Amino acid sequence: MRLLKRLMTAIAGLALTIFSANARIVVDVNRGHADPLPIAITDLVGSENDIVSGGSVQDYGKRMALVVKADLTRSGLFRTVDSGAFIKSGNALTSLRNPNFSNWKAIGAQALMNGSISLQEDGRLKVEFRLWDVLGSSQMTGLRYYTSPKNWRRIAHLMSDAIYKRLTGESGYFDTRVVYISESGPATAKIKRLAIMDQDGYNHVFLTTGKNLVLTPRFSPTAQEITYLSYHGDNPRVYLYNIDSGKQEILGDFPGMTFAPRFSPDGNKVIMSQAYKGNSDIYVMELRTRKIQRLTKHTAIDTSPSYSPDSRYVTFNSDRGGSQQIYVMDADGKNIKRISFGKGRYSTPVWSPRGDLIAFTRQYKGKFYIGVMKPDGSGERLLSESYLDEGPTWSPNGRVIMFFRQQPYDRQGRGGETQLWTVDLTGYNERQIITPLEASDPAWSPLIR
């Protein structure tokens, strides 16, 4: 009997052990918040006695931290903690590798970036930074760069990209440039010049003189190369412009009017629309062979073509259904399907580099909107609204859209200024990009390699 008791006890113990592995309350959390992540960005620690052109190494460290702060804040996904709240403790250099996490936690920071900058014997700057998980008390990433002092902004953007990628999981977009049409002069005789700048508006350069009208610049997705349209007399020509070399070449003279040239995702083709004898259709040109293939043949106006990132499909704009709407077809011109069915007119469809959305301009009841929809036409969301919003272009990570906005004219004919704006996919983070003159028709570059 005693043996039996022991056995039963052992069995009970066994049963309890079997279940112990699953002995947990399970909490389902599916409600969260979409607030910016609080991150502390400290100045890069550097010597004030080492002087390079433009200031001390310490000054460069401060400036770079400011650029990183501005990049991350502008993305809308981060909130930088006010440096006035930073709690100073211990030696600045030793705390680079051993941050006092409780101090950073106390001021609400959930991530921390710190780092150092120093001058090398060869005149280059050595910049290194670390990103820390404050709540987890661990390092998330750490990188080191060597660069000429004149590239300091670019290094700061690369740091922003690294932080953005580590904390969001997707590639950044800060080390990029934007090409656009700079406009000046009266509305009736505007001088339009091709201009390029960093995505935050700095390092601005005019690429053309303004002698000839330029339109629709577009970046190659694979190289620092631009295609754009320029008029010589009455003849529009499609040009290729290499930013690094400054070399410019004519892609070809086309019969009739050519509009909206845009690169294919591999950079080997240019897709565009051509108007010939009053009818506009979609054509594609192989850049290597200059061979042209016609994709649509319809009496309606087909224009603004854009490839999907896998090159399998093309979205374009057509009034073949009676009003201007967005269509998607196979890359060979077959299986044309209409995807926009809302009220008003849809135009300038642009496929996201991520492939999941198509950005467009919608005109309805006297207002313009920039919106996005899925490639099958579902899930339409309008992100911006104004008197005139036009010309969406995607950041290379497919998270932000840049476009241009025109102010309304008043009764005296004043107004009508155009500026560049960005909006992210939430639609809540709309920001103007400051340019020296008026600006329109932006095109966002891929990440600079």
> Which is closer to another protein, CB of 355 or CB of 416?
355
By CB under 8 A, residue 37 contacts another protein = yes
Name the one residue in this structure whose structure tokens are 């020509």: 237
SS3 11: helix
> Which is closer to another protein, CB of 5 or CB of 288?
5
Q: Which element (helix H / strand E) includes 231?
A: strand 225-232
Q: Which residues pair with 351 in a beta bridge?
A: 358
User: Cα separation of 331 and 295, whole Å?
Assistant: 8
Which of 403, 430, 447 is closest to 160 using CA atoms? 447
| Helices 57-74 + 152-168 axis angle, to 10 | 40
DSSP 84-137: GGPPP-S-TTHHHHS--HHHHHHTT-SEEEEEEEEE-TTS-EEEEEEEEETTTT
**Among 126, 165, 345, 374, which residue sits at the site for another protein (rule: CB under 8 A)?**
165
Q: What is the DSSP letter of 12?
A: H
Q: Least distance in Å: CB of 359 to another protein?
A: 15
**Among 82, 170, 332, 376, which residue sits at the site for another protein (rule: CB under 8 A)?**
170
Backbone angles phi, psi at 45, to 5 degrees: -75, 125
Length of the chain: 449
Which two tokens mark 258? Answer: 């050519």
> Which is closer to another protein, CB of 170 or CB of 332?
170
Q: What is the DSSP letter of 34?
A: -
Which of 174, 194, 187 is closest to 75 using CA atoms? 174
Which of 442, 445, 320, 340 is closest to 389 using CA atoms? 442
Q: Least distance in Å: CB of 289 to another protein?
A: 35
**Among 63, 157, 193, 399, which residue sits at the site for another protein (rule: CB under 8 A)?**
399
Which of 435, 424, 445 is closest to 181 using CA atoms? 435
Q: Least distance in Å: CB of 140 to another protein?
A: 8
Q: Least distance in Å: CB of 137 to another protein?
A: 9
SS3 443: strand
By CB under 8 A, residue 378 contacts another protein = no
Q: How many residues bind another protein, per CB under 8 A?
A: 48
Residue range at the interface with another protein (CB under 8 A); choices 11-19, 57-65, 242-250, 262-270? 11-19
> Which is closer to another protein, CB of 30 or CB of 94?
30
User: Cα separation of 410 and 416, whole Å?
Assistant: 8
Q: Least distance in Å: CB of 16 to another protein?
A: 4
By CB under 8 A, residue 100 contacts another protein = no
By CB under 8 A, residue 20 contacts another protein = yes
Q: Least distance in Å: CB of 175 to another protein?
A: 18
> Which is closer to another protein, CB of 23 or CB of 189?
23
By CB under 8 A, residue 34 contacts another protein = yes
Q: Least distance in Å: CB of 4 to another protein?
A: 8
Contact pattern for another protein over residues 54 through 83, marking x by CB under 8 A: -----------------------x------
Site for another protein in 101-140 (CB under 8 A): 110, 133, 135-136
Site for another protein in 344-363 (CB under 8 A): 354, 356
Name the one residue in this structure whose structure tokens are 């051509």: 274
**Among 8, 87, 187, 434, which residue sits at the site for another protein (rule: CB under 8 A)?**
8
> Which is closer to another protein, CB of 207 or CB of 425?
425
Interacting residue ranges for another protein, rule: CB under 8 A: 3-9, 11-20, 22-35, 37, 77, 110, 133, 135-136, 165, 167-170, 354, 356, 399, 424-426
